[in-house]
Structure formats: C-alpha cells, structure tokens
Amino acid sequence: MKQKHGDIYKQNVSMGKGENFIVMVGHPDYAKTVFQAPEKEHRRFKLQLIDFFTKKNNFQKPLALLDGKEWEVQRKPTQEKMLRPAVVANYVPLIEKVTDDFIEKLGRKDKTEDLFTDLLNYATESVGMLCFNKRLGCMENDNNPVAVHVRRLFEMLGTSVMRPRKSHMTPDSKFYQEYEKKTFEFTKIAGDIIDSQKILLSKMKDEGQLEKYLEEEPNFLHSLLSDPRVTEESATSMVTTLFGAGIETSANTLTFVLTDLSLYPDKQKKLYEEIQRIVGDSTNLTKEHLARMSYLKACVKESLRRTFPLSSGTGRYLETDLEVGGYDIPKDTLVVVNSALMSNDERFFPRPTEYLPERWLRDTEGELAISRNFPFAYTPFGIGPRSCLGQRFAENEIFIAVIKIIQNFQISLPAGVTEIKSDYTLFRTPSEKVTLYFKKR
C-alpha cells in the first residue's frame, strides 16, 4: 500500500459504529505530529472481540478498553508499580530463579524442535512469578493449560483483527463460542491462582509474617490489593490481563532475538564477550549488570525492529482536527502510525534487512547512525501516556533470559536455514516450528 499511496493514505475498512476508513502514516515526521496531538480522553483502537465479550458477560473491562477519566483512574496506580525502574529492579531475583531452571532444562538436551513452545512455557512461568509470586510448573509440561489457552486466545484475537467477520461476534457461531469458552477457562485458571495467593497473604498477615515476607520479596498482586485506589475487582482484572498479554509478547520477542543471534554468529560472539566482560561466570545477575549491557539492549532493539511485533503500529483517535503531511484529518478519525513499515524503511534504517545491533549504540558513526535521528520511527511499546504498562517487566525478562542462554550455550539453527518466516496473529509469531541447537560452553 505504501508503494502505491506514499507516506500517508486513507484505507477503507469495516469497523462498525459507522467507521469506514482509517488513515495510515508511514513517516517519522507525520508520526511525531500524531503522537504530539493534544489529548484528554486518550482513545485507542479497541479489540472488538474482547469488547463484545465483556459487554455480553458483564465482565470488568480491562484497562485497554477504557478511555478518559475511567482509564486514568485505573492506569495511574498500576503505572506507579510497573514503570519505575527502581521498583522493577526488585523483581530481577524472581525472574532469575525461573530462568536458571529453564537453563537447567535446556542443558538436558542439545536442541529444541519447537523453540516458541519452550519459550511460551518459560514466559508463562516467568510472568506467573511476576504477577502471582507463584511457580506454576509450566516448563515441564509442553501442554500446560495456561500456555495452551493463551496461545489459542491470541490466535483467535489475531484472526478477528486480520480477517474480521460478523460471525466472530455472533453469540451462536462456532468461532465465538470457542473464544468465550477459552476466555472463561483462562479467567478461572488465573482467578483460582489469585484467590489462593489472597488466602496466603491473609494468613501471613494474621500470623504477623507479612511484613517480613514483603521486605524479602516484592509482590505485585499485594501492592495492588493494598492500594486504596484499586478495587479488588480491578486488581484481579489487571493482573489477569497482564499475565495473558505478557506471556505471548515475551515468548515471541525471545524467539526472534535468539534466532537472529543464531543467524548472525558474529553478533552472538560480540554479545557473549560483553556478557563475559560484565557478568563473567557469575550466576547472580544484578540491576547494575543489566544497566551496563548496552550491546544486549541493542540486540533486542534490533530484533524488535527487524521483526516488528505488531502488524502495523499504534492507532489513536484524533480529539481535534489535525493537519498531517499537508492533509486535513477530521476529529474522531482513527490514525494508525505504521511503525512496522517505518522500522524496515531504508530511509530511516539503512540496510534494513540486515541484523545490525550497532545502529543503536551511541558511539556508532556513519550511515547506521542516521537511525538515531528518527525516534518516532521505532515504537514497539507504544509512546506517551498509553504506552505498554508491562514494558520494563518484559524487557528485564527478555534481557535475563538472553544473558543466561548466551552465557551457557552457543546457539545455532539447522544447516541451510537462512531466515525465520513469520505470520501475524495478534502479534508477530513464527510461521513454523523452529529448531534451535544448544552447545554447552
């Protein structure tokens, strides 16, 4: 579409509620204009399948479906607990314990024939620790019900967005009935875990042990439940949503980071050298270690750029009329910033098909340095007040997993594999099972 219409164009779509077109922008200057447009309500594109389900079943609306004051009231206390680096750093030991078990599992064999499934199980266990402070036993069972439900729900959400049909939101359709059944089952699984943790926390409080426990181990669920601004229903909804979304996104990102490092062994070697220089053979990671690992962060950024996690990017409804690129766009229009397109545009990212983490390093000069001139071209976690709440948790989880894997193994793909094909469900995911070899260092 971009080749045909340029950096800004109108695309006809069927979205219901009288909406029949959106505006797509694919240039950082236009993205900047859209991102900096005045907002009070912070309205975003909503996943209609989730919206339909919550209304039909009178469920608590997740944060992603809220706008205006209602959104602000729920977002603020959660944001305080999830986006402050000092708070997130406290969870490093929890993630590390899970990751060490994952490394031990990988060490029992020399390869995995389904990398994404292994990483999905790891992410379920890891995100479960962040959300519930509870081990779920996911890494020893490839058919763990939590991971299986999350995977199928995101497949169905992706289908409803990428190939929408009226039947997707018809209560007696096979598609909707499966979605509703899976959602109820997943919600019950998460709800049972939350209830068990509430009982445990209450027991600790009654026995006078809670304060000591919280000094030794951060507890996200408790921090929400103990906040007077957050209702118990909202806390449960928030934790359940973060749990589900965090699993799929982390597993996908890790898959592409590890396969990129396997496709480019010189970059893997350079990352291993950074790990040895900063971490050495230590088995205990600290926030100070993570803060110093610039090449690691560059590797993750480059994988997110090459295989952008969303099919397009951030969509927002304009709250005022806005001129973008010489075009007048009326108020209430949904404008989508096509970050996936810009992230692979050679004007903003020279040699876009190559895996070049160096483009993100501050001391890089020459043609690759141009990428730093376009901050609005690369926004995998969104931007502004509605940016991804789980960004810092997800980044730490990914950083720790990559460090531990590269510290312990030299990884490679089967001979002859030169690319990893991908599809979009709701997020970018591998098209086929990926085999990855692990050679102990």
Binding-site residues for heme: 388
Q: How far is CA 307 from CA 60, 201, 257, 365, in A?
A: 33, 41, 9, 24
**Dihedral class, residue 332 (left if φ above 0, else alpha if ψ from -120 to 50, else beta):** left
> CA-CA distance, 137 to 151, in Å (whole number)?
17
Contact 156, 186 (CB under 8 A): no
The rounded distance, in Å, linking the Cα atoms of 77 and 74 is 7
Cross-strand bridge partners of residue 323: 328
Q: Give the Cα-Cα-Cα angle 344, 347, 353 (nearest 5 degrees).
A: 35
Classified as helix, coil or strand, 266 is: helix
Q: Taking the CB of residue 102, how many other CB atoms lie within 10 A of it?
A: 20
Give residues with Cβ within 8 angstroms of 316, minimum separation 6.
34, 39, 42, 43, 44, 45, 334, 335, 386
Residue 307 CB burial class (10 angstroms; 0-12, 13-18, ≥19): buried
**Which residues carry a binding-site annotation?**
388
The two structure tokens encoding residue 298: 């560059």
Report residue 173 as tokens. 């359709």
Distance CA 382, CA 254 (A): 19
